[in-house]
Chain A
């Protein structure tokens, strides 16, 4: 074998190795991407939920720690623009009216970036809160720092927290009930059942549920 052919052979092998490496690397990357898309981020049941300081539609800042007497919270990630969220507006008001007096007020947080969805601007939030006569704070997740910590991925997405030893523990994650379309044809009241169990100090039967909603909007 001449030196030249030998060099060519080495060169060829090097090329092959490079290609194989590239394929391997891209395979790994694509593996990571698929994994990222399937692994759930955010809180699990039993985790300590973070407090926050977010601007309410009345211009004042609101934190969970402001509610000294609350036993817990119904944190609802919702918005003006999503048809599923709009369908639940009245039911969220009902939840607040019923459970605020029992120690579990609703805290609504609008997670979308108004630059990506102008219907969810602070001014539009103020307008909606006034129109619907919201009985609860309607906060804007300015900078979109809070909802990823909770693991909210859509609107509406609810997190029920219970105060335990000064910490807010996540007790329920998911949907309000099992029929976004028709409140008169609901057969599973997930959020109410969870709250009633918490109030009776009983275990929550279904602590995690899924329902179709709108993805949270980010500016690209």
Chain B
């Protein structure tokens, strides 16, 4: 009986802990499926890394927009981290410190960059940050480089209509 309790407590704590800190590691195909399966009308996918200064700089503004629209079922923001899986603790710490409220996944597919980069966008050489907008699962904007708060909001309001 004691053991059962212990297990229950353990399971309970894992589920709470897990919810707060859960970050999925995805291969390209899983990420593609995840984007395709979004129910939102507009999905904003941002590629970033904790080691990328311009990415880190623009994320607070992305959060401003996410906070504004996240309750809207038509809107979804997905932050695709290109950090190495072994840097998971750093990513978690970063999420907490910067209060990232959008979903974060780690694209764990280093050796196949030359496969998945062109599949996201033919003319993308691999520089980050990059932001891609999908409207009803169709890629509508590929934005290479930093995005200002104004640009981001303009795109979101335009494509949410």
Contacts and interface: CB of A to CB of B under 8 A. Distances in A.
Contacts of A117: 53
Interface stretch (A59-67, A97-105, A141-149, A177-185): A177-185
Given A37-B142, A39-B123, A40-B123, A178 B114 contact: yes
Interface string B27-54: 0000000000000000000000101111
Interface residues of B, number: 29
A21 interface: no
A214 B127 contact: yes
Nearest to A175: B114
A175 B113 contact: yes
A212 B113 contact: yes
A144 to B, nearest CB: 15
B111 A179 contact: yes
A34 interface: yes
Interface string B118-157: 1001011111110000000000011111000000001000
Given A37-B143, A38-B121, A211-B117, A178 B127 contact: no
Contacts of B145: 37, 215
Contact of A215 (B111, B127, B158): B127
Interface string A163-205: 0000000000011001111000101101000000000000000
A181 B53 CA distance: 19
Interface residues of A, number: 31
Contacts of B92: none
A211 B146 CA distance: 18
Query: Which of B54, B113, B143 is most buried by chain A, counting CB atoms within 10 A of its CB?
Result: B113
B141 to A, nearest CB: 5
Given A34-B142, A38-B121, A213 B126 contact: yes
Contacts of B123: 38-40
Nearest to B140: A34
Contact of B126 (A34, A154, A190, A217): A154
A121 interface: no
A179 B109 CA distance: 10
Nearest to B124: A210
A153 interface: yes
Contacts of B49: 212
B142 A38 contact: yes
A178 to B, nearest CB: 5
B111 A214 contact: no
A211 B129 CA distance: 13
A83 B82 CA distance: 12
Contacts of A190: 114
A185 B127 contact: no
A135 interface: no
B113 A37 contact: no
B142 A178 contact: no
Query: Which of A117, A190, A211 is most buried by chain B, counting CB atoms within 10 A of its CB?
Result: A211
15 contacts: A34-B143, A37-B143, A37-B144, A117-B53, A174-B114, A175-B114, A178-B110, A178-B113, A179-B110, A188-B114, A209-B114, A210-B126, A211-B114, A211-B126, A215-B128
* Nearest 7 pairs of A and B residues by beta carbon: A210-B117, A154-B127, A40-B123, A215-B127, A209-B114, A83-B51, A212-B126
Given A37-B142, A175-B126, A217-B54, 16 more contacts: A30-B158, A37-B145, A117-B53, A153-B144, A154-B126, A174-B125, A178-B111, A179-B111, A181-B84, A187-B111, A188-B111, A210-B118, A210-B124, A213-B126, A214-B127, A216-B127
